[in-house]
Amino acid sequence: MKRAYQIEMTVMHQYARQLLALGVFVAACTCVGMGSIVAAPGVLTCMYFIMGALATSAYDEQNGWGLFRLTMPLSRRDVVIGRYGMIATIGLIGMVAGLVGGTALAAIATVAPLPGDLSTTFGLTQDNIQAMVFSCALCAVIGSGIAAVETPVYLRFGQTKATQWIPMVSVILFIGPMMILGATGGLGNFAGIADALSAVSAFIETPLGAITSLAVSLVAVFLILGVSAAISIRLYERREL
């Protein structure tokens, strides 16, 4: 298992560096477009989870790497667990990079004059820090959820077939339930949850709430990836390469 994880990290370390440059550019454009710095850490976190899963799946198809890897003293179970360990590691790296980068940019904006009202908007304030932490928490759950859906499909069908299945699977899992609830009037049954959500939102806006949301999201990430890994092991063991 450890060897499989090390192989995955060796394959991905160079791509992770390249993804950082792309993530910083996307995060910067997002911040300027939204007029807020709070989304920057979340953008990097989400990108690392999603693109990490996609990049490793694509690499399997290059030069027959997926077949060659199975000639090593690794079981298919080890390969899957190593893959998910890499996805979790890459995602956490994106989260740390986003928080560090966002905090550094906010500190610079606080001491250095920026065009327009950017110094005030991007300033290192308690509200901005709490919002950046919550942004990471929310985007970590979203990114890991998407990676958890993509990875089993890629491991079962391979890159070529998976690109045909992923859109349909995404619609069924993420959009389909909302369409059904909207068409049947089921969304009205959740109206009573609004008060509870307001209370949770008020708690998240506190320093303790922001930290708690991050801790809960990390637990959720590992649960999501753990369930997905269990499914992927079964699917990958049945795949004929």
Q: How far is CA 125 from the centre of its chain?
A: 26
Question: Can you give the pLDDT of all 241 residues of the chain as single tens digits?
Answer: 788 888 888 878 777 888 888 888 888 788 777 777 788 888 888 888 988 888 887 777 776 777 777 778 888 888 899 899 999 999 999 899 888 888 887 777 777 766 666 666 676 777 878 888 888 898 899 889 988 988 888 888 777 666 666 666 666 665 666 566 555 555 555 555 555 666 667 777 788 888 898 899 999 999 999 999 999 999 888 876 6
Q: Which amino acid would we find at residue 161?
A: K
Write the CA distances from 237 to 152, 182, 203, 223, integer angstroms.
Answer: 11, 39, 44, 21
Helical ranges in the chain per DSSP H:
2-34, 39-61, 65-69, 76-111, 118-121, 126-170, 176-184, 194-204, 207-238
Domain ranges of the chain: 2-238
Rg of the Cα atoms in the chain:
20
Which of left, alpha, beta for 123 (phi over 0: left; psi -120 to 50: alpha)? beta
